[in-house]
A and B are shown apart, each in its own frame.
Chain A
């Protein structure tokens, strides 16, 4: 018993070290002067430790603009997605109407469209409507791809919440929207946070649309901006590593903060023993 407990812990620690090491190496390397990056047998710790790469991406390349773009695009897409998605999912979970399964199937089909197939038509569309290089050119396609997943996940979540809770709220004097807001939504919070995280990460990392629908440095999002660091002859690895470090931290922090919200069994105790 005890021995197996120790070995499980050991395996866990080993696993964490292994999966964390690449990121740790990225962090260390971003602090090294360029000369040490390409050395055979590079030193483990950066010596001397230098902020040069960070200075370069923020002051020379104005990388903060790209971060801002990503935050705005991913944040807006996630917000709209969760708002629209939860209302749609609520309707699909609770209401009885004709053609419900057809609608659900149609939503699924939309998400199965290969993005590559619609890049060109979308580019033409956005060019005609002068949306190229705007936030909207990214938010709209992100929504179309993130919404179906959100709706499907949340439909399942809403179905698990006993309808009686809402009925009780109605009798307690709440209108339909109030009952949704006060009772159903808080109980669906784990599902909503889950879909929010998934959507945000999808938008944060998305590359194809971002590459196609932005044409200047100032309007690019992070993934595209990092690729564009490379010139014809040189690849500024140090700066790329610095940028990767900078953009991974907030996402990791976000997931860590929100994951505490993703507790299952929140509905325990609602009904009987």
Chain B
């Protein structure tokens, strides 16, 4: 087992597409690191460079302290689980699992034992003699996983291994995969475009956007303190609401202008958010997660900022209602920003209804309007 260190990685494809720029990432030994980002941001490119299937334009990649840039894939001792599984269709499950060991010229007896152990662990014992086409999607997925772990490689690379499974199976495999990793204590670099997967599975999460790394941090920190607007907008479902805002006044008269309304801020707000000091009287981007709208209950009434909204569409999901509404955005010079509030089902709401919701000022995120950096 070994850590993976990627430094200064650039990748430009022969057709001129710059897929990765100045990418740095260190996956610690035994860590489960999830690389997440929207489609086409370069996640697979990172994995393929680490695996040796793609040659980096610039930068070094080391596995277990050894620079592997010039090693062909078969000498890097990494295992990859492909999104499409890439099982060998002409071989039985046993041969699929045994292939890696056979290529490494292990004795027949050892191969048999190792395959049996993995098949046992993954519940594939009954399928060893079958061909991949005779398996269900979930079973194929487990064969792909088994093929990776049977070799006990230095690290696993996984490219959206769960994305071809149906929703229920995906949730189940998520926990099974985690359990397996805890058990094997192997380094995993896991790629997904699903932010839920990222937050639930990763020891740390790395957010990639347009070929540039945005933030690497534990899931909670990514969620609570997104480094910039891209991360804030990508992590969380439904996505964070954004609008142009402005802070004016001072002391007890400190207020936040947003959506044509004003919210009072506590007098010590700027002391607690020093990043905002230089942004008084200036436009900035305010962000608020849908789940941070609170019902106006009696006890809290005094402490909270209030926002008047008119519900346009109401989605009722059971445990939560999503109220869609629009806020005028005069500071940005645009008509309106579309917002979503996750409301407790006990809050009476209906389409077309005017509603007052509460906001806690500490839940508001601020971003520089130009750079998008969190303040």
Contact = CB atoms under 8 A, between A and B. Distances in A.
Nearest to B153: A171
Interface in B49-101: 51-53, 72-74, 76, 78-80, 82-90, 99-100
Nearest to A170: B73
A29 B83 CA distance: 63
A65 interface: no
Contact of A175 (B72, B80, B131, B140): B72
Interface string A240-273: 0000000000000000000000000011111111
Contact of A164 (B82, B133, B147): B82
A171 B74 contact: yes
A94 interface: no
A173 interface: yes
Given A168-B86, A272-B84, A174 B137 contact: no
B74 A165 contact: no
B134 interface: yes
Contacts of B14: 96
A206 B201 CA distance: 66
B157 to A, nearest CB: 8
B261 to A, nearest CB: 49
B137 A273 contact: yes
Contacts of A187: 89-90
Contacts of A167: 51, 53, 73, 80, 82, 86
Contacts of A107: none
Contact of A162 (B73, B86, B90, B131): B86
A244 to B, nearest CB: 39
A173 B82 contact: no
The B contact surface, by secondary structure, is loop
Interface string A159-183: 0001011011111111100100011
B164 A178 contact: no
Q: What size tier do the contact residues of chain B reach?
A: 35 or more
Contact of B78 (A171, A186, A273): A171
B74 A272 contact: no
Interface in B101-121: 103-104
Contact of A173 (B53, B85, B100, B140): B100
Interface residues of A, number: 26
A266 B80 contact: no
Nearest to A172: B100
Contacts of B84: 162, 164, 270-272
B151 interface: yes
A173 B132 contact: no
B128 to A, nearest CB: 15
Interface string A168-206: 111111110010001100110000000000000000000
Nearest to A267: B89
A173 B103 contact: yes
A270 B100 contact: no
The CB with the most chain A CB atoms within 10 A, among B14, B74, B104, is that of B74
A186 B79 CA distance: 23
Contacts of B133: 268-269
Nearest to B84: A271
Interface in A131-181: 162, 164-165, 167-175, 178
B350 interface: no
B18 interface: no
Contacts of A266: 89-90
Given A164-B84, A270-B132, A273-B140, A170 B53 contact: yes
B85 A175 contact: no
Q: Which of A170, A173, A178 has the most CB of B within 10 A?
A: A173
Contacts of A270: 84-89, 132
Interface in A69-87: none
Contacts of A273: 136-137, 140, 164
Given A269-B140, A273-B164, A173 B74 contact: yes
Interface string B147-182: 100010000000000001000000000000000000
Nearest to B79: A171
Contacts of B104: 173
B184 interface: no
A267 B72 CA distance: 26
Given A162-B84, A174-B74, A269 B151 contact: no
Interface of A: 96, 162, 164-165, 167-175, 178, 182-183, 186-187, 266-273
12 contacts: A167-B82, A169-B88, A170-B52, A171-B74, A172-B99, A172-B103, A183-B90, A187-B90, A267-B89, A270-B86, A270-B132, A273-B136
Given A267-B89, A269-B87, 4 more contacts: A172-B147, A268-B133, A270-B84, A272-B84
Interface of B: 14, 51-53, 72-74, 76, 78-80, 82-90, 99-100, 103-104, 131-137, 140, 147, 151, 164
